[in-house]
Structure 1
Amino acid sequence: MSFSSIQKCAAALRYLGYGITFDASDKYLKVSERTAVGCVDWFSACVYEVFHKEYLRKPTHRDIERLYSAHEERHGFPGMLGSLDCTHVAWEKCPKAWRCQFTRGDIGEPTIILEAVASQDLWIWHTDKAPDMTFTVNGHAYKYSYYLGDGIYPNYSTLMKGYSVPRSEKAKLFTKKQESARKDIERAFGVIKQT
């Protein structure tokens, strides 16, 4: 009469894992397109319900204070929320009609670009808007936090980029520290790509 929870989970995982269209396996799974969409929606809602309080949330004021203190202690950057970067993740189940659209010449296979902010503990944060918390450096209060980025990003007040050609000793030291701190996001991407 109806599908069990296990059948719905299996259908949702098959659609999400293999990247197939909702009507592609109606003969195999005996699931209509409408039911398949409902299974994926139901599965997504269940994942959200189980994990949103800890993993799918915006950082609280307490979290931000912890990030401030950890980044200042570890890297020497007060007011830093994390490192921002992007990476290409192979899209093995890319539909044939889209392959050319998602393939770059230097990579040679379809990819999806993942852009994220990660802290030193590999936590990938979703902040939506800049948090309204101040931090102080040398007695001067600043209203908005910032992220460490590299040269691919535009010049925004919330992005701190290293010098492309550091000339002075001070600029060289800053760029070295900034590059060291940006290893957090590279490490997070490394973990994601291994799983």
Structure 2
Amino acid sequence: MEEDDDDDLRRHIASHSRRVMKVVGQIAKPRRAANFIRKRGKQGKDLLEYYFIPNNVFPDRAFRRRFRMQQSLFDKIMSAICNHDPYFVQKEDIFHVLGLLPKQKITTALRMLAYIAPANQVDEIARMGKTTILESLMRFSSAIEALYTNEYIRKPTPRDMRMLLRKDEI
């Protein structure tokens, strides 16, 4: 009986997420406009230099403050998402120009969610177009839902409750 309730809850959450994604997709209908020279490669290298390489510019506490998670968790999520959806893997275009880094796409999605930031504000950070940012957000949300729904979006079990109470006591 409890499993049926969990399945109903998951289906309801999944259908709600699909409706939200559809609406966001309608808002972000691509229009042909002039392309800007965004220097995305430089911005990607800067992002790596600031947070992700061994001798990075900012300390670990700055990463935690900016991304609202530890770097190990970010890396775990990024790896799972890249394995789930090939959209996030860096590719070469027909002119042999490398596309956006997975960290750029995931960072924009996380910043939009964490800071409730609009696409144009994140554009200045990641040098991505509005439609690319919204596509990254939609795919990121879908991937998170697909990967983590069974484990995290469910009713807590008695074992989960005991663990949470123990953590609270500590």
Query: Shorter-chain TM-score: what band?
Result: 0.3 to 0.5
Q: Which has the higher contact order (CA 8 A, sep 6+)?
A: 2
Using structure 2 for the length normalisation, give the TM-score: 0.33
Using structure 1 for the length normalisation, give the TM-score: 0.29
Larger radius of gyration: 1
